Amino acid sequence: MAAQPARKDESSNPKTAEEARAFVGYVKSLFMPWNIDALVDGFTEDCVVRFGTVPEFRGHDALRAFFTARSSKQTGYRLDKHFRSLMNDTIANVWEGEWRDAESGVAMRGYGVEIWVMRGGKIAVWEAAFNTGRADQKNSVADLLR
């Protein structure tokens, strides 16, 4: 397992844009390759997740199942995640990803926006909106509304 960058102060939330940017970069590093244990550890035990159209779920067990399911379906996952803003204990970021669908082998891509509400240096609420599609096709607004 590759060494992961250490956070300066594990007990407090990012207080500056630079600290929030570093935190977003750290989270990004955990997806390539999937480090599910470290990802789950970055959330509070009572975390709340609202991820697209997936029904809201809570806690480490459900989060681990979610990441395990995603990692098994998204082979060769490559992620680019960018910090956008910090206000009080809330971080906003955007991401672009590419992967191969594990069942069909089709190249896929996605784009999303995330809001993280932090508590004690960990993500307590994760809200995400995103779109995905085949990497070899351009989607129109009409395609997205089907």
pTM of the predicted model as reported, rounded to 2 decimal places: 0.85
What are the start-end ranges of the H helices in the chain? 17-29, 36-41, 59-73, 141-144
User: Is residue 37 one of the residues assigned to a domain?
Assistant: yes
User: Is residue 7 one of the residues assigned to a domain?
Assistant: no
* Residue 143 tokens, joined: 């395609």
User: Is residue 5 one of the residues assigned to a domain?
Assistant: no
pLDDT for 89-98, tens place per residue? 999 999 999 9
User: Is residue 1 one of the residues assigned to a domain?
Assistant: no
What's the mean pLDDT when you consider all of the chain?
90
Q: What residues form DSSP beta bridges with 50? A: 127
CATH number at residue 112: 3.10.450.50
More confident residue, 36 or 143: 36
pLDDT at 8: 43
Number of domains into which the chain is organized: 1
User: Is residue 97 one of the residues assigned to a domain?
Assistant: yes
Q: How confident is the model at residue 143 (pLDDT cuts 50, 70, 90)?
A: low
Q: Is the dihedral of CA 10, 12, 14, 19 positive or negative?
A: negative
User: Is residue 12 one of the residues assigned to a domain?
Assistant: no
pLDDT at residue 30 tops 80 = yes
pLDDT at residue 22 tops 60 = yes
User: Is residue 137 one of the residues assigned to a domain?
Assistant: yes
Share of the chain above pLDDT 90, in %: 80
Average pLDDT of the segment spanning 96-108 = 95
User: Is residue 53 one of the residues assigned to a domain?
Assistant: yes
**Residue 133 domain boundaries:** 17-144
